[in-house]
């Protein structure tokens, strides 16, 4: 087996070679080469399954930033292996699907680079044991998903959806990072495994860390009210939606909640927030899904709804930590088991449905339900897959969604009768909300099947005649459809080898042997089954009524979270523009004022705050008359520059200051420095004269009195501050002077004097870098001049 660190990095390494392979092998679709990466990783991860099923875990660490305890540590257990298999398995099918879905005219190499970056980032999230490393990969998923959603960047909606997803998930990531820092402060470790055993639930930071962590999880998994980014993210190509928004990215928040359930699950706040937000999301997503006319938008809201279902199950399952390993905990661990089960089931039927919707859109040119209908006879394979996926999502037999939906109902009935966390007061609402949401779920599943594939066929409303997709595009959803039925028939294969080890990760201190009953297709006539029958009956009635009307539900008003998001961005942009326009005036003088004010106030403030100003001039050498005359000359020249009326006068006065400095070097017996100063001053003065010769004639401008006063005050402030700083530095010697080191070193270097040693030995490397910077700047100027000249030539040719 390859190390997990290498497995995580393989997608990143492959992404580096995609641009070269894309150019070198133009005749082969680059997708076939990319397909090798997730396929190999999936096969590699399957080798862990037998040992993981036996209760083994794998830990491997690479030292990174030892001083802060940040290491690239990977941890493979039952929970992470489930997500790893989904990431690589669904990833393989999506890449195969994209080979036939995307046109060769698209920027395919960019698409697959972004997809590989996302895949590697997701693997890093689920296998990282170190909180800081997990956070790095977490934000990489946001960045790579932004690139994927905005793949068709020429579309305004794609750019908007990508920006919205990035802002919301990135904001949640910052909250999660703050939570991680609090957890580190409480436990003194960044290892998730060690945190589980060392967390102090009575610590004052425990609840704030819990809340911030859930914000991060809820934003990534599109939980209410952060769900608003997911429908807009559907502007991405269908392979992206099938991968990110059904099986992987939106499951990252689910993974975070599951992974930290052993840490925070025993607290009442965790239970109420995770369960209630999950149920609200379940209801709100399903309610909005039945109001959609776009198949992809319908699937987006259905994804939100199903994510809420899984989240609520993890919330219910957290109650088990109140009972420890007692028998009372069994029915609550069943809820977490159902969450893992539905998580896998959701990836299969939602991935298949997204691909079918992509096939329909690709085939007929529209996803609008009002224009679709009668496609069953033209697209029989796609219809069959859509039927299997939709009925599984609706929770009907003989499909895997039926089994996990029954377990969901059973968990809600059990928790409504619980006597912990004051559930008695609101517990009855849990199954009621879930049942109503399930009715809406049934309705929108029927809409997918009957409004798309049944009814009259309207060729005049379609952009292309209906036809079945190519076999290559059908293979991935067919595989998922087979899994949907296969899991229903053989559920305990999945349960024994993946779900039970995954459950053990949520309850590391529990002995689950014998506590969990096997998954059975027939449960008898229990409350869960009666709830399902009620869902079917009421759902059929509502679907029939809705089919006769254009819209059964009143659309939301303008007071929505989408409107709140848009208005907030508008206000930020408006106020930001006003603030920016106040200091970005286009005037060099204003910018210099800001710079000097900030410099003077910050430096002076720090010195005052730290009592660093100290003046001791008793040890200074006396100032001779000729030194004083030179200093006065320099001061007079500097003041005269301000009042100079012509550029020539300004240049000459500036040169007088420079030559006066050279004269001081002569007086201080530093001929090398004096010669250097004379050469530099002569060259710069000549260059100034040359440049100013080509400038337009200077217009006389009389600055306002207010501007002049500000200039004087700023000049005095900066001058006083830096004179005070220079005197303080000279008076207060905190360290031994470095001149002693140079005085001893220059003799060893073989130089004739200390200046030569400093310039030739100590500053040689620095001087080389300065030359390189000037060289790069020169290349840039030369390039701009050539481009401008070429542009002028092109304009002449066009004329």
* Nearest partner of 221 among 158, 272, 285, judged by Cα: 285
Does 750 reside within a domain?
A: no
pLDDT of 551 reads 47
Confidence of residue 138 (pLDDT cuts 50, 70, 90): very high
Structure tokens at 31: 């997708």
Instruction: Please state the rounded mean pLDDT for residues 259-282.
Output: 93
Write the pLDDT tens digit of every residue in 218-230.
999 999 999 999 9
The angle subtended at Cα 403 by Cα 385 and Cα 345, nearest 5°, is 50
pLDDT of 788 reads 66
Instruction: Please state the rounded mean pLDDT for residues 584-590.
Output: 84
522-to-393, 469, 497, 533 alpha-carbon distances in Å: 18, 37, 21, 14
Tell me how far apart the terminal alpha carbons of the chain are, to the nearest angstrom. Answer: 66
Does 48 reside within a domain?
A: no
Shared domain check, 725 and 600 = yes
745-to-750, 752, 753, 761 alpha-carbon distances in Å: 9, 12, 10, 10
Instruction: Please state the rounded mean pLDDT for residues 485-501.
Output: 93
pLDDT of 116 reads 95
* Nearest partner of 132 among 184, 168, 75, judged by Cα: 184
Tell whether the model's pLDDT for residue 308 goes beyond 80: yes
Give 218's contacts (C-beta < 8 A, 6+ positions apart).
Answer: 172, 226, 253, 277
- Window from 16-30, 325-339, 396-410 with minimum mean pLDDT: 325-339
Residue numbers of the domain that contains 788: 763-799
Confidence of residue 144 (pLDDT cuts 50, 70, 90): very high
pLDDT of 477 reads 95
pLDDT of 684 reads 86
- Window from 253-262, 283-292, 543-552 with minimum mean pLDDT: 543-552
Does 80 reside within a domain?
A: no
Alpha carbon distance 15, 13 (integer Å) = 5
Cis peptide before 648 (omega within 30 of 0): no
Write the pLDDT tens digit of every residue in 686-741.
888 877 777 777 666 666 778 878 888 888 888 888 888 888 877 666 667 777 77
Shared domain check, 222 and 320 = yes
Instruction: Please state the rounded mean pLDDT for residues 256-277.
Output: 93
Write the pLDDT tens digit of every residue in 448-468.
999 999 988 888 888 888 889
Shared domain check, 367 and 403 = yes
Write the pLDDT tens digit of every residue in 731-775.
666 667 777 777 776 667 776 777 777 777 777 777 788 888 888
> Which of 529, 563, 597 is where one domain is finished?
563
Does 539 reside within a domain?
A: yes
Tell whether the model's pLDDT for residue 354 goes beyond 70: yes
Alpha carbon distance 728, 156 (integer Å) = 58
Is 149 in contact with 94 (CB distance < 8 Å)?
no
Instruction: Please state the rounded mean pLDDT for residues 500-513.
Output: 86
User: How many C-beta neighbours within 10 Å does residue 572 have?
Assistant: 10
* Nearest partner of 749 among 737, 736, 759, 735, judged by Cα: 759
Shared domain check, 380 and 248 = yes
Shared domain check, 727 and 786 = no
pLDDT of 322 reads 76
The pTM (predicted TM-score) of the whole model is 0.81
Shared domain check, 380 and 307 = yes
Identify the DSSP state of 556: P
The angle subtended at Cα 354 by Cα 492 and Cα 545, nearest 5°, is 95
Does 250 reside within a domain?
A: yes
Write the pLDDT tens digit of every residue in 373-409.
889 989 999 999 999 999 999 999 999 999 999 999 9
Sign of the C-alpha dihedral computed for residues 738, 741, 746 and 749 taken in this order: negative
Does 64 reside within a domain?
A: no
Shared domain check, 389 and 273 = yes
Does 580 reside within a domain?
A: no
Is 620 in contact with 601 (CB distance < 8 Å)?
no
Question: Where is 71: in which H helix or E strand?
Answer: strand 70-76
Shared domain check, 780 and 639 = no
Our CA dihedral for 772, 773, 774, 777, rounded to 10 degrees, sits at: 120
Alpha carbon distance 607, 728 (integer Å) = 10
Does 184 reside within a domain?
A: yes
Q: Residue 384 class from Cβ within 10 Å (0-12 exposed, 13-18 middle, 19+ buried)? A: middle
60 φ, ψ (degrees, to nearest 5): -145, 135
Write the pLDDT tens digit of every residue in 77-128.
999 999 999 999 999 999 999 999 988 888 888 999 999 999 999 999 999 9
pLDDT greater at residue 181 or residue 26: 181
- Window from 113-122, 373-382, 560-569, 784-793 with minimum mean pLDDT: 784-793
* Nearest partner of 161 among 147, 179, 149, 144, judged by Cα: 149
> Which of 731, 747, 777 is where one domain is finished?
731
Tell whether the model's pLDDT for residue 360 goes beyond 80: yes
Is 180 in contact with 135 (CB distance < 8 Å)?
yes
Shared domain check, 527 and 607 = no
Alpha carbon distance 22, 140 (integer Å) = 24
Shared domain check, 264 and 180 = yes
Shared domain check, 607 and 537 = no
Cis peptide before 398 (omega within 30 of 0): yes
pLDDT of 641 reads 84
Structure tokens at 60: 């491997």
Is 211 in contact with 205 (CB distance < 8 Å)?
no
Confidence of residue 796 (pLDDT cuts 50, 70, 90): very low
Query: Mean pLDDT for the chain?
Result: 87
Shared domain check, 594 and 657 = yes
361: three-class secondary structure by DSSP: helix
| Structural domains in the chain (count) | 3
Instruction: Please state the rounded mean pLDDT for residues 584-592.
Output: 85
Percentage, residues of the chain above pLDDT 70: 93
């Amino acid at each position: 087996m390859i190390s997990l660190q290498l497995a995580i990095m393989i997608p990143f390494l492959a992404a580096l070679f995609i641009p070269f392979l894309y150019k070198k092998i133009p005749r082969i679709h680059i997708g076939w080469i990319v397909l090798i990466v997730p396929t190999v990783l999936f096969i590699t991860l399957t080798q862990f399954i037998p040992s993981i099923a036996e209760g083994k875990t794998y830990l491997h660490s690479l030292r990174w930033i030892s001083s802060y305890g940040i290491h690239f540590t990977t941890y493979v257990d039952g929970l992470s292996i489930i997500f790893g298999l989904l990431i690589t398995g669904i990833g393989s099918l999506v890449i195969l699907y994209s080979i036939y879905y995307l046109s060769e005219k698209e920027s395919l190499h960019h698409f697959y680079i972004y997809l590989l970056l996302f895949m590697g980032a997701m693997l890093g999230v689920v296998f990282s044991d170190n909180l800081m490393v997990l956070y790095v990969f977490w934000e990489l998923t946001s960045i790579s998903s932004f690139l994927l959603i905005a793949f068709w960047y020429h579309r305004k909606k794609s750019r908007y959806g990508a920006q919205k997803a990035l802002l919301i998930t990135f904001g949640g990531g910052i909250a999660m990072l703050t939570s991680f820092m609090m957890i580190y402060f409480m436990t003194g470790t960044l290892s998730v495994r060690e945190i589980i055993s060392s967390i102090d639930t009575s610590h004052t930071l425990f609840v704030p860390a819990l809340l911030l962590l859930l914000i991060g999880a809820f934003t990534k998994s599109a939980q209410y009210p952060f769900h608003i980014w997911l429908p807009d993210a559907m502007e991405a190509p269908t392979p992206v939606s099938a991968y990110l928004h059904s099986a992987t990215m939106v499951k990252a928040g689910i993974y975070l909640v599951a992974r930290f359930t052993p840490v925070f699950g025993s607290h009442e706040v965790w239970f109420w927030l995770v369960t209630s937000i999950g149920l609200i999301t379940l209801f709100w997503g399903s309610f909005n899904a039945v109001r959609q006319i776009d198949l992809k938008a319908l699937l987006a809201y259905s994804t939100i709804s199903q994510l809420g279902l899984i989240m609520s199950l993890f919330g219910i399952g957290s109650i088990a930590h109140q009972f420890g390993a007692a028998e009372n905990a069994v029915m609550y661990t069943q809820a977490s088991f159902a969450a893992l089960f539905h998580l896998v089931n959701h990836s299969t039927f939602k991935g298949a449905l997204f691909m079918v919707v992509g096939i329909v859109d690709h085939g007929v040119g529209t996803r609008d339900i009002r224009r679709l209908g009668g496609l069953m006879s033209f697209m029989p394979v796609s219809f069959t897959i859509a039927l299997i996926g939709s009925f599984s999502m609706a929770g009907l037999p003989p499909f895997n969604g039926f089994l996990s939906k029954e377990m969901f109902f059973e968990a809600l009935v059990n928790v409504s009768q619980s006597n912990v966390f004051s559930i008695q007061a609101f517990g009855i609402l849990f199954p009621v909300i879930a049942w109503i949401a399930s009715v809406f779920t049934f309705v929108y599943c029927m809409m997918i099947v009957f409004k798309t594939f049944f009814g009259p066929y309207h060729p005049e409303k379609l952009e292309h005649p209906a036809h079945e997709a190519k076999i290559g595009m059908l293979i991935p959803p067919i595989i998922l459809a087979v899994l949907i039925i296969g899991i229903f028939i053989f559920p305990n294969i999945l349960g024994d080898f993946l779900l039970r080890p995954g459950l053990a990760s949520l309850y590391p201190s529990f002995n689950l042997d014998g506590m969990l009953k096997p998954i059975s297709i027939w449960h008898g006539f229990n409350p869960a089954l009666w709830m399902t029958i009620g869902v079917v009956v009421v759902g059929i009635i509502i679907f029939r009524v809705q089919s006769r009307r254009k819209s059964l539900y009143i659309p939301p008003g303008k007071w929505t979270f989408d409107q709140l998001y848009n208005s907030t961005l508008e206000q930020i942009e408006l106020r930001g523009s006003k603030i920016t326009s106040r200091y970005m005036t286009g005037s060099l003088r204003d910018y210099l004022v800001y710079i000097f004010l900030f410099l003077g106030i910050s430096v002076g403030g720090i010195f005052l705050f730290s009592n660093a100003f100290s003046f001791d001039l008793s040890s200074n050498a006396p100032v001779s008359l000729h030194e004083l005359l030179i200093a006065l000359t320099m001061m007079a020249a500097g003041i005269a520059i301000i009042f100079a009326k012509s550029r020539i006068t300004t240049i000459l006065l500036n040169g007088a200051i420079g030559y006066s400095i050279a004269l001081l070097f002569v007086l201080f017996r530093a001929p090398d420095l004096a010669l250097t100063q004379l050469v530099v001053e002569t060259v710069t003065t000549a260059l100034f004269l040359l440049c100013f010769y080509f400038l337009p004639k200077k217009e006389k401008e009389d600055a306002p009195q207010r501007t002049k006063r500000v200039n004087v005050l700023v000049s005095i402030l900066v001058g006083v501050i830096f004179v005070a700083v220079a005197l303080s530095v000279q008076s207060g010697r905190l360290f031994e002077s470095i001149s002693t080191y140079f005085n001893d070193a220059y003799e060893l270097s073989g130089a004739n004097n200390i200046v030569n040693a400093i310039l030739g030995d100590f500053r040689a490397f620095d001087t080389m870098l300065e030359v390189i910077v000037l060289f790069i700047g020169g290349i840039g100027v030369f390039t701009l001049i050539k481009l401008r000249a070429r542009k002028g030539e092109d304009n002449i040719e066009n004329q």
